[in-house]
Structure 1
Amino acid sequence: MLVYAPAVLLFLVFCVRVARERRKFSNAVILGLAGLCGLAAWAFQLVRSGSASGQAVAWALLVVGSLGILVLTSLLILNGLHMVRKEGRSPTNLLSLVAALCILTVVALLVTAVVVRTPVWVGVGTAAGGLAAYLSFLFLSFVCYAFLYGRLRVRRKADYVVVLGSGLVGGSTVPPLLASRLKRAQAVHARLAERGDSPVLITSGGQGPDEDVPESHAMADYLIARGFPADRIEREDRSTTTDENLRFSKAIMEKTTPDYRCVIVTNNYHAFRAALTARRTGITGQVVGSPTAAYFWPTATIREFTAILVSYRRTNVAICLLLVLGGVLAWWAQRNGVG
């Protein structure tokens, strides 16, 4: 069983790091590495056994993996078309279609490299395969840890509940996406009030160029119309991004309660990235998510992942350049008959 030792060790490291600070993307990477090491150890035992059942499992995994790629690509295409029909042809709404196109491109490059086997195609296939494996690993790690983060318990006490804003419909109307955040914030506030706390609810969002009122004001009006006490609402009406939402809300909280604790509310697909931003901003609090329409989740998740890649762009660019260099080395080795 020593073959599983790296996976167990990495998982223990993951548990310790989550207990200390759950708002780190490195937690997702370590969790992914633990799963990868466990899978590699299992595959190694299957190969070492040399039994017919081991070979059958290996072939079954290959078939399932191939079918999984086909099904995933088909679902992304369908989701992309659905997004365009319901939400319009904005660049963000095309992300599912772009992801499907990238998968098909990588598969085509790998097949061509295997069939043609010229130095150029071997180099291209090696680089494309390496980049696809790296990004797939990061994406799966992100999805798994984001799912886990959304189910970790938050503190029982808080001085503030901060609701992150989003765009308004028609310049002044709260859309369903934002309404779900406000409903979750009300539920969180009610649970805290039952324990004897009376937290202030901060609606956070400024006024966009196509909006008649600041988002925070429309959010506050929405809550008041549904029975929420107006004297427990604070409006943060200057922010235009998630980073500003959190920085300006932090200033409000620190001014009144320097040693504050808070709960931040956003949609579930956005919760983990908001938590990463909250940590960088120095906010003392965790993030909880509200439900999102199923058809919206794939595109939103891809968008969140892309934003995180950009946040860590130096590291990702460096690793991607190394993988491209690996493709160049494969081209050189094939051309010169090395190996």
Structure 2
Amino acid sequence: MSYAFAVAAVFLLLFAIGVGRDRRRFGNAVLLGLSVTFLGIGLLAGVEDAPPGVAETVMICGLLVLGVGPVVLAGLLTANGVKMVRKEGRSPANLLSLLAGLGMFAVMVLAATAAATDSWALRIAVVTLLLILGYVSFLFVCFVGYAFLYGRLRLRRDADYVVVLGSGLTGGSRVPPLLASRLDRGREVHERLAAHGRRDGAPPVLIVSGGQGPDEEVPESHAMADYLLERGFPADALVREDRSRTTEENMLFSRELMERDRPGSSCVIVTNNYHAFRAAILARRTGVDGQVVGAPTAGYFLPSATMREFAAVFLQYKVVNLGTLGALILLGALVWASR
């Protein structure tokens, strides 16, 4: 028990150091997850010394969570996936929560089949699959947990720029509700920075960042600028970045504009809340001195959107992650071959 607490303390210390160096590192999420995991192990190991009845209660609750929890989660994901398809269409990105829910049901059926049969190969395959899912699930929980914490950081007051990231337009030229929420949040942040004031007296500038997609009539930044101007935003505080096609290009091209006009400047980047942590990781990678804040998103949209963001981050570290998955598959194959 004391060993688990000691390990948890070490990971917590490393987490604190990592956050102190840069809050936008995915490694911080993993260190926090490891610290919480070992803390939980230590607490569970100490249950046997608890007063009578506590150990039994904890065991029953644990069994309920392990037994009922996956079924409930799979059901909720499936229901959310159906709602996503009805509201947003059948694009691959919108199917993620539905596929995740159905996939969980399939794994449960496969595990029950393996337990009910004498197939050694099937049991090894199921155990290997569960190890893979355990690894991915651990990283996903780390991602969601730390993203939640990152989204609640205090807004910096010394930024020179506010950068609002673009997204797709409706009908090729209109700002959809998702993008409107970013623009409204960006305007709010700009007003707070302007009210606080800068030591050199220069007012903050808002950059709308987004190029023109193949199915769009105008660059996203132009539609975003029109949305703000129609609502009274001052034109002299607005700059358009209209070349970017990806979030990484949003960062790179916006950084060029900031460095051109105010070298060494800092910014607050605005996107939707599900996208904030990945945007922060990309800001760090592209050398942008920026804090990322999120705008509200419809609740039904969050599960699929969060899975999509996690998948993108997972593949950013593909050498480590795909290597780990390959090692688990190889381990399962070796166990099967030794049979």
TM range (shorter): over 0.9
How far the C-alpha of 1:59 sits from its partner, in A, is 2.7
Distance between the aligned counterparts of 1:46 and 1:36, measured in 2? 16
The residue aligned with 2:217 is 212
Superposed CA deviations along residues 84-125 of structure 1, whole A, max 9, x for unmatched, are 111111111100111112212222232233332422012101
The residue aligned with 2:305 is 300
How far the C-alpha of 1:41 sits from its partner, in A, is 1.2
Specify the SS of the correspondent of 2:46.
Answer: helix
- Kindly indicate whether the alpha-carbon contact (under 8 Å) linking 1:23 and 1:272 is maintained by their aligned counterparts in 2: yes
Specify the SS of the correspondent of 1:300.
Answer: helix
Distance between the aligned counterparts of 1:117 and 1:298, measured in 2? 37
The residue aligned with 2:231 is 226
- Kindly indicate whether the alpha-carbon contact (under 8 Å) linking 2:162 and 2:269 is maintained by their aligned counterparts in 1: yes
Superposed CA deviations along residues 171-194 of structure 1, whole A, max 9, x for unmatched, are 111000000000000110011111
Distance between the aligned counterparts of 2:337 and 2:26, measured in 1? 36
How far the C-alpha of 1:48 sits from its partner, in A, is 6.7
Structure 1 window deviating more from structure 2 (108-117 vs 212-221): it is: 108-117
The residue aligned with 1:66 is 67
Distance between the aligned counterparts of 1:313 and 1:258, measured in 2? 34
- Kindly indicate whether the alpha-carbon contact (under 8 Å) linking 1:205 and 1:237 is maintained by their aligned counterparts in 2: yes
- Kindly indicate whether the alpha-carbon contact (under 8 Å) linking 1:122 and 1:331 is maintained by their aligned counterparts in 2: no
1:102 aligned partner, one-letter code: G
1:278 aligned partner, one-letter code: A
- Kindly indicate whether the alpha-carbon contact (under 8 Å) linking 1:122 and 1:330 is maintained by their aligned counterparts in 2: no
Distance between the aligned counterparts of 1:115 and 1:70, measured in 2? 19
1:236 partnered with 2:237:
no
TM-score (norm. length: structure 2): 0.95
Specify the SS of the correspondent of 1:265.
Answer: strand
Structure 1 window deviating more from structure 2 (103-112 vs 278-287): it is: 103-112
1:254 corresponds, among 259, 262, 274, to 259
Distance between the aligned counterparts of 1:111 and 1:322, measured in 2? 25
TM-score (norm. length: structure 1): 0.95
Distance between the aligned counterparts of 1:242 and 1:97, measured in 2? 26
The residue aligned with 1:126 is 127
Structure 1 window deviating more from structure 2 (130-139 vs 61-70): it is: 61-70
Identify if the C-alpha distance between structure 1 residues 50 and 323 changes in structure 2 by more than 3 Å, giving closer, same or farther: farther
The residue aligned with 1:77 is 78
- Kindly indicate whether the alpha-carbon contact (under 8 Å) linking 1:126 and 1:326 is maintained by their aligned counterparts in 2: no
The Cα RMSD (Å) is 1.6
Identity %: 54
The residue aligned with 2:159 is 158
How far the C-alpha of 1:231 sits from its partner, in A, is 0.7
Distance between the aligned counterparts of 2:220 and 2:171, measured in 1? 12
Distance between the aligned counterparts of 2:53 and 2:337, measured in 1? 38
- Kindly indicate whether the alpha-carbon contact (under 8 Å) linking 2:2 and 2:42 is maintained by their aligned counterparts in 1: no
The residue aligned with 2:116 is 115
- Kindly indicate whether the alpha-carbon contact (under 8 Å) linking 2:278 and 2:313 is maintained by their aligned counterparts in 1: yes
The residue aligned with 1:53 is 54
The residue aligned with 2:277 is 272
Superposed CA deviations along residues 201-254 of structure 1, whole A, max 9, x for unmatched, are 000001111111110011011111111100110100011110111110011111
In the alignment, structure 2 segments of 5+ residues that lack a partner are none
1:201 partnered with 2:202:
no
- Kindly indicate whether the alpha-carbon contact (under 8 Å) linking 1:125 and 1:327 is maintained by their aligned counterparts in 2: no
